[in-house]
Structure 1
Amino acid sequence: MTTDPPTPGNSTAYTRRFDELGRDDLALAGGKGANLGELVRAGLPVPAGFVVTTAAYRELTDSSTIREAIDELDRTNPSDRDELATAADRLQSLIRERTFPESVAESVTDAFDGDDDARYAVRSSATAEDLPTASFAGQHETFLGVPAYDALDRVRDCMASLFTDRAVAYRARNGISHSAVEMAVVVQEMADADAAGVLFTADPDSGKRGVASVESTYGLGETVVSGEVSADNARIDKATGEILDYDIGEKATERRLTDDGTETEETTEERRREQVLSDAQLRTLADLGTRIEKLFGEPQDIEWALADGEFVILQSRPITSLVSLPEPRPDDDRLHIYLSMGHAQAMTDPMPPLALDVWETVYGGMLNEYAGGDRAWVTRTEGRVYLDITPFLGFGVARDGIVESISVMSESAAEGTARLLDERREEFGGEFSVSSLPTVLRKLAGALPLVVGMTPGMVQEGVLPFFRGAAGTEEYVAEFNAWAKAQEAQVLDAEGPNELVENVFAGFPAEFLFEMSPKSVRVIVGPVAGGLLERVVPGVDATLVDAAARGAEQEVGTRMTLALGDLADIARETPAVEQAILDEQSYEKIREIEGSGPFVEGFEAFLDDFGHRAAGEFDPSRPRWRDDPATPLGIIRGNLIGEQKGAHRERLHERKRQAQDAIDELQANARRGLFGPVRQPLTSHLIRTYRSHIHLRDEPKHAAAHLFAAWHEALQRAGEYLVAEGVLTEADDVWFLRRDELLALIDDPSGDLPDIDVRRRDHERHKRIDVPPLITSEGEIPRSERKDVGANTLVGTGVSSGIIEGTARIVHDPANANFQSGDILVCPSSDPAWTPLFATAGGVVTEVGGRLTHGALVAREYGLPAVVSVLEATDRITDGQRIRVDGTQGTVEILDGQTSE
């Protein structure tokens, strides 16, 4: 049953037949209606129907009371769910109380073809619906089995559903104005379907664009869309038509069309065990999906039905849950694999365009300088930067090393990568050929002096400390930081905004490789010494060795935690200062308080040491703490609320005691046996080396953060220049320019300015998209299968052993943490800015991370059970829920309530 050919004069401003619509009619027909029109024009099988347009909606809502209510809704705080729901309910009531003008009613009546027995699906079609960036799936009303005489009332109900509480909340979350959206309604003739369901033209689980996924059930497909039945699921290779797998669902009930609408009946046991669709039907459906995907130019989520042996398409929308393909696209026909640099830094938030340009230039330029050529090493998707690791996967040793490196960041991603490399091994051949050999040899010869020049320094920093023990670590730290501060000053030493920008995009200075890279080798001394202890001392495991490292006051995170805890104690001594911090007053206000001198002096000292740091500091657009001290003040506030005076120092003493107990046990084990007299002094030396060097792991990044801070300040100054020139409204707008645009506007402030507001909205949308540690050029997300666990258990990677039960506290920003000692910290990531929160936490759960990322190392040092790489942990765990964290098994169990899906 498909649409009739166009008939001149069969539409008005209030109704349009599908064949009179296309993708350019979004404002008139809404997303669903415009897409159906496009399908019909392309000759695809679509049941006959029409759209009641937004012109009818405007007639229905032509009321000053309704307009004022919508304006009021736009002014409502998006985070106030109760107020949003109340305002939404009032708007729905106001619209349902209205009647359509006679002109609209006549237009709708005339649009029916006169079949009194026909039944229709009446579906909402908002102008902000079925879009690439927002699907609004399930947010508005749909009515099935509607007779023509009842359609107008259901159209009104659909229009009122523009303001369901879920639709209002969805718009608020996506930054869409309520007054800017209108509602059209699709009226489509229904068929008594034998089967129906949903077709995804890309696999929503793995991201594979070459695999179609079909969910199917008996009868009408609404039971699949609403999740009422466990449907059959099949996956089809779109290129070959091979049925990759077919899982038969229970299909306990099926919904049928009746004279009175629809009814639900139980499915017989025999039919439950049968496949809904044959292999041939699946291939036919997948082919239809491929046609539709090509029509719209992107993967589609398609609702279909099977009636009288023929497939019909009910609607099609983009799959908004897919991560976009990385750009730029490869210029060859090979499969590429991209590694998220944000995940490597435990910072997965999106970055604005200029920040992405910085890393694209820095990483890409550095790799091309030393590898030769002008390869696009860096790609981007959803506001994140990815590194192309494909060239390193063509050789066995390098391939194994890459997988091992990925496992440090994410075991699931590493397992998925290993599987992908095994399945498609032939696609990762070496990039070098006989013809390229001379170029490779020249590169190696050119690099030889560099390697020779760096070798003595690498030996000195990586080998000599094993003989010198604890000597020289303080000088090492001081030298690293002195170099970093000099680089910071060099970036900011510029005569004008143009030079500031050029200094930033120069990236890492050449002497970094010659001077500082060898020094970075010393960070491995601590871990190597710890590994030797595990091998030399009998009866020892990694947990005991980790315990021996606790209580190191020199460690960056510990220094930061102690300083903030001391500041909280200083604030307690002046009630006015304490209250100002609790009231979230600004630092400027606190400075003005009488008696604030000791606190201000201590806080300034803190900023001298740590003011160049920030949460998510890998993003150069982020203000540093010296620019905006809200985060350290927020951590001090949390200490004042949830801690007692001196508690942070007591915890440090307890960790030192635990470390001494571990050291005593190590030495006792070393003395045992025939070789005890030889092993005991060696063990003592290794313990000294281990404890004196393990804290150095964060020093290179602590120093490099000076350079990141300089990049932020330099580009911020460029933004301030453009504000003074009248180009930008505020200095932060500079981050939404591209590098070339920024330089062009500095040269000519009268030049064209891109739409900053649009880019800001894109950036906000990117924040709501979870991106994977790895993704291929085909959109596939390499990862391992989830373990077989219960519905209330989340799986991740255990990085610090032990089991803890406690109250979960969801924290998205360390400045706004508010939890009691012993609560379990659940957060998106854990770069060094989060470290002070670990001091009071009873356990840690993060959405990203691996065995050697910062949060894992700190958790082991503090003895906190910790699980990382827990997908969507901050969404699936509710603040205040009681959870059990098993850092040994890598699981998080919800003890009360259920996980949020």
Structure 2
Amino acid sequence: MIIPLTEATPENAGAKAAALGRLIRAGFPVPPGFVIPTAAYRSATAHPDPSANPDPSANPDRSATGHASQFDAGHLSQSGTGRRHRDVVVSAWLVDELAGVLDVLGESSVAVRSSGSGEDSAEGSAAGQYDSYLAVEGLAAVVAKVQLVWGSLWSRRAVAYRLLHPERTPEIAVIVQRFVDAEVAGVLFTADPRTPGGAAVVEASWGLGETVVQGLVTPDSYVVHAAGEIDRRCGSKATRRDRGAGGDGGGVVSNEVPVEQREKLCLWDEQLRRIARLGREVAELMGGPQDIEFAVENDRIWLVQTRPITAPLDAPEQQPQPTDDESVLRGVAGSPGTASGPARLVRGVEDFGRVEAGDILVCRFTDPVWTPLFGVVAGVVTEVGGRLSHAAIVAREHRIPAVLGVSGVMSAVEDGQSITIVGDMGTVTVPGLLRS
């Protein structure tokens, strides 16, 4: 039942896997791999193992909060199967198949990634809504991650996202690929409609791309114009993620970035032009502007994901006029619009119960688990993150303003204090703020 990634189609493996398969067939640099198709998920859910007793703590999204108001109502009622299907286990015959194809792939470390039926489609990105795992080592670890990826189809965040983008029959495939040990990784929007000629926009940071897509750092930002000129803005790249030391199924670790590297751009001009050129070629193949994730390993550029741009940077980033107003904090324009309301400081899922309609979510960064909040709040402010991160994309899809990378905002703003954010300019106004 397992198929090569080159044979993936939207019908048998979801849009994400199908796009990667199409890139490979066209000769683009995509890590090799295979797909556990949606048919395997259907088979597993049709014949669940009654002896299975998964540990819900293995997936923190299942028990993240006891708050059961706007985040739980109806979220697991689709087809009446959500709670049962998220605990499906991998059958013995599929484990045997996995053992064989992993041997053929011959990689000591792989990425285990979701490809949901509505993920990476023209209708919705589902950015960060389903689980993926990097640097997975060994058959047992791969099997465990496949089960978690299947289960993520029915996580609170994924079901809440699907309320905006309904699917007739939610299903999920699983991609297993060679893991890329990235020195630098990031995201490319192949065409920014806000710029003459639709320049390419790149955000990147040291290490694995998780830090950029999850908004864990404020990345370096580049605009690569059609004529070759490049605009650059150095980010505050304080942390990086890399493959761990191995053992116990592999995984990734976080480390601090040395100060001298934080202040150094992570991509040079020739790499940026190669990335932009690959992006143009992918967009031509796929028939429209693309949101592409890439990784650089030993100066080789790998493409690890491409999807249609569902949430474009659709408003010119307005440059705020110089001002002596000490109450204005500045960050990255993530999603257009203006909103005023009480700041709700959220440090973790334990704070979700305090969030009310009309609040402005203020946080260090947003985890995909937090997606249900985006359907409640009037706007989002983060201390770190870029405009191509999952948080920014989902904010634009929800049509709420977002300002990202506002250094120190968690200390500058008091919980419940009235603030105003302007997503077009990347500003947060905090009345009465006095800087030290």
Shorter chain as denominator, the TM-score bin is 0.5 to 0.7
1:219 aligns with 2:207: yes
Other structure's SS at 1:81 match: coil
Other structure's SS at 2:46 match: coil
Q: 1:115 to 1:782 in 2, by over 3 A?
A: closer
After superposition, give the CA deviation of every residue in 1:555-581 in whole Å (9 maximum; x if it has no partner). xxxxxxxxxxxxxxxxxxxxxxxxxxx
RMSD: 3.9
- Equivalent pair of 2:282/2:290 in contact (CA under 8 Å): yes
Q: Could you tell me which of 128, 149, 152 is aligned with 1:161? A: 152
1:234 aligns with 2:218: no
Q: 1:42 to 1:87 in 2, by over 3 A?
A: same
C-alpha displacement at 1:188, in angstroms?
1.0
In structure 2, distance between residues paired with 1:807 and 1:268: 36
- Equivalent pair of 1:207/1:322 in contact (CA under 8 Å): no
C-alpha displacement at 1:103, in angstroms?
2.8
After superposition, give the CA deviation of every residue in 1:482-541 in whole Å (9 maximum; x if it has no partner). xxxxxxxxxxxxxxxxxxxxxxxxxxxxxxxxxxxxxxxxxxxxxxxxxxxxxxxxxxxx
What residue number does 1:28 align with? 12
After superposition, give the CA deviation of every residue in 1:757-792 in whole Å (9 maximum; x if it has no partner). xxxxxxxxxxxxxxx7xxxxxxxx456324573269
Q: Could you tell me which of 311, 317, 323 is aligned with 2:301? A: 311
In structure 1, distance between residues paired with 2:201 and 2:418: 34
1:123 aligns with 2:113: yes
After superposition, give the CA deviation of every residue in 1:106-145 in whole Å (9 maximum; x if it has no partner). 2222221357761111111011110112000101101111
1:100 aligns with 2:90: yes
Other structure's SS at 2:31 match: coil
1:298 aligns with 2:284: no
In structure 2, distance between residues paired with 1:167 and 1:785: 35
Q: Which amino acid aligns with 2:85?
A: I
In structure 2, distance between residues paired with 1:873 and 1:156: 29
Identity of aligned residues (%): 37
In structure 2, distance between residues paired with 1:872 and 1:40: 29
Q: Could you tell me which of 264, 283, 293 is aligned with 1:274? A: 264
Equivalent pairs, count? 335
Other structure's SS at 1:167 match: helix
What residue number does 2:234 align with? 248
What residue number does 1:200 align with? 189
In structure 1, distance between residues paired with 2:120 and 2:398: 28
What residue number does 1:639 align with? none
- Equivalent pair of 1:881/1:895 in contact (CA under 8 Å): no
What residue number does 1:413 align with? none
What residue number does 1:44 align with? 28
Q: 1:167 to 1:806 in 2, by over 3 A?
A: closer
Q: 1:873 to 1:61 in 2, by over 3 A?
A: closer
Other structure's SS at 1:186 match: strand
Q: Which amino acid aligns with 1:316?
A: T
Q: Could you tell me which of 20, 32, 41 is aligned with 1:57? A: 41
Other structure's SS at 1:82 match: coil
In structure 2, distance between residues paired with 1:281 and 1:199: 12
C-alpha displacement at 1:882, in angstroms?
6.0
- Equivalent pair of 2:329/2:428 in contact (CA under 8 Å): no
Q: Which amino acid aligns with 1:256?
A: D
Within 5 Å, give how 1:353-752 maps onto structure 2: none
Unaligned stretches of 5+ in structure 2?
Answer: 51-68, 323-327, 344-357, 360-377, 380-395, 403-414
What residue number does 1:143 align with? 133
TM-score (structure 1 length as normaliser): 0.34
Other structure's SS at 1:83 match: coil
- Equivalent pair of 1:116/1:148 in contact (CA under 8 Å): no
Other structure's SS at 1:113 match: helix
Q: Which amino acid aligns with 2:114?
A: S
In structure 2, distance between residues paired with 1:131 and 1:322: 14
Other structure's SS at 2:40 match: helix
What residue number does 1:183 align with? 172
- Equivalent pair of 1:84/1:165 in contact (CA under 8 Å): no
In structure 2, distance between residues paired with 1:321 and 1:294: 19
Other structure's SS at 1:57 match: helix
Q: 1:283 to 1:116 in 2, by over 3 A?
A: closer
- Equivalent pair of 2:33/2:105 in contact (CA under 8 Å): no
In structure 2, distance between residues paired with 1:20 and 1:275: 38
Task: Name the structure with the higher helix share.
Answer: 1
Other structure's SS at 1:112 match: helix
C-alpha displacement at 1:883, in angstroms?
3.5
Q: Which amino acid aligns with 2:242?
A: R
C-alpha displacement at 1:209, in angstroms?
5.7
TM-score (structure 2 length as normaliser): 0.67
Unaligned stretches of 5+ in structure 1?
Answer: 1-13, 67-78, 324-771, 773-780, 798-804, 809-824, 827-845, 848-870, 897-901
Other structure's SS at 1:790 match: strand
C-alpha displacement at 1:255, in angstroms?
1.3
What residue number does 2:318 align with? 784
In structure 1, distance between residues paired with 2:420 and 2:32: 55
Task: Name the structure with the higher strand share.
Answer: 2
In structure 1, distance between residues paired with 2:212 and 2:242: 13
Q: Which amino acid aligns with 1:210?
A: G
C-alpha displacement at 1:198, in angstroms?
0.8
What residue number does 2:279 align with? 289
- Equivalent pair of 2:14/2:118 in contact (CA under 8 Å): yes
Q: 1:270 to 1:129 in 2, by over 3 A?
A: same
Q: 1:102 to 1:307 in 2, by over 3 A?
A: same
Of structures 1 and 2, the one scoring higher in RCO (CA 8 A, sep 6+) is 2
Other structure's SS at 2:224 match: strand
What residue number does 2:406 align with? none
Other structure's SS at 1:104 match: helix
- Equivalent pair of 1:202/1:208 in contact (CA under 8 Å): no
In structure 2, distance between residues paired with 1:62 and 1:787: 60
In structure 2, distance between residues paired with 1:874 and 1:131: 18
Q: Which amino acid aligns with 1:272?
A: R
Q: Which amino acid aligns with 2:25?
A: R
Q: 1:111 to 1:208 in 2, by over 3 A?
A: farther
In structure 1, distance between residues paired with 2:7 and 2:266: 35
After superposition, give the CA deviation of every residue in 1:860-899 in whole Å (9 maximum; x if it has no partner). xxxxxxxxxxx9999459xx9663789xxx9985679xxx
